[in-house]
Structure 1
C-alpha cells in the first residue's frame, strides 16, 4: 500500500505542476494576441516557449505515474473502474490540448496567429472544466 500512496502523491504533484503551466500559457497567448509592439511580442514568444517546454516534462511524468498507479492496482481493478475510463478519456483531451498549444506556439513564433484574444480567453477555460470533472471522478467515483 505504501507504494500506491507514493505513486498517487507523485501523480498528483506532477499534475499540479503541469496544470500551473496549462492555466498560464493561454493567458500569455491572450496578451500576445493583444500586443501591437514588436518588442513585447518577442518577449511573449520567449516566455511562451520556455513555459511550454518547462511544463511538458510534468505532463509526461503525470502520465508515467498515472499508468504506474493503474498497474499497481491491477487489471481487475482497472476493468471494474468505469469512472477511470471516463477520466482517461478526459485526460486524453488534455493531452490533445497540450499538443495543440505547441501548434499555437508555432503560429505565434512565425507571426501567423489568426486567432483573437477572445478565442484564447475561451481556450483558457477548457482545462479548468476538464480538471473539475477529473477530480470529481477520481474522488467521488460516481460511476
Structure 2
C-alpha cells in the first residue's frame, strides 16, 4: 500500500514538473517576442514575463523536480519493486532519459537566469523548437514505463520526432501566412 502512495506522489510531481517545463519555455517565447515590441510596451511585457517566469520556476517547477526525484529514489531504493526494476534494461534506458531531463531542466535554468537579466540570446523560433525536447523525453519515458521494453520505446520516440517535424513544418507554414498578412 505504501508503494502505491509513493508512486502516486511521484507521478503527480512528474506531471507538475513537465507542466512547469512546458510553460516556462512558452514564457521564453513570449519574452523573446516582447524584445521586438516598441517602448513602453516592451518594458511592461518583459517585467510581467520575468515575474511569471520567476514564480513558475521557483514555486512550481523546481519544487516539482525535487519532489519527483525524492519519490523516485524512494521507489527505486526502498521498495522491493524498485530493486527488481533496477536490474531490468528498460529501466536503465529510462534512467538515461531522466538524466537528459535533468540536463534539459538545468539548461532551462540557465536560460531563465539570463532572461531575468533581460539578456535574450535566442529567438522565439529557437524556443519553440527547444520546447520539443521535453516532449520527446516525456514520450520516451512514458513508452518505456508502460511497455517495459528497452526496444519498443524506439517506435514511440521515432513517432514523436516525426510528429515534431510535422509541427515545425506547420509552424513555418503558419509563420509565412502571418508574415504575409502583416
TM-score, L = length of structure 1: 0.93
**How many residues are aligned here?**
142
**Which moved further from structure 2: 72-81 or 51-60?**
72-81
Unaligned runs of 5+ in 2: 151-182
**Contact 2:13/2:65 (<8 A) preserved:** yes
Larger Rg: 2
**Contact 2:75/2:82 (<8 A) preserved:** no
Bigger relative contact order (CA 8 A; separation at least 6):
1
Q: Who is 1:109 aligned against?
A: 116
Structure 1 residues 7 and 75, CA, compared in 2 at 3 Å: closer, same or farther?
closer
1:4 deviation in Å?
Answer: 1.4
**Contact 2:26/2:131 (<8 A) preserved:** yes
Superposed, 1:69-108 pairs within 5 Å as 69-71=75-77, 72-73=79-80, 76-108=83-115
Q: Could you say what the CA RMSD is over the residues aligned between the two structures, in angstroms?
A: 1.4
**Post-superposition, which runs of at least 4 consecutive aligned residues in structure 1 deviate over 6 A?**
none
Unaligned runs of 5+ in 1: none
1:76 deviation in Å?
Answer: 4.9
Q: Who is 1:10 aligned against?
A: 9
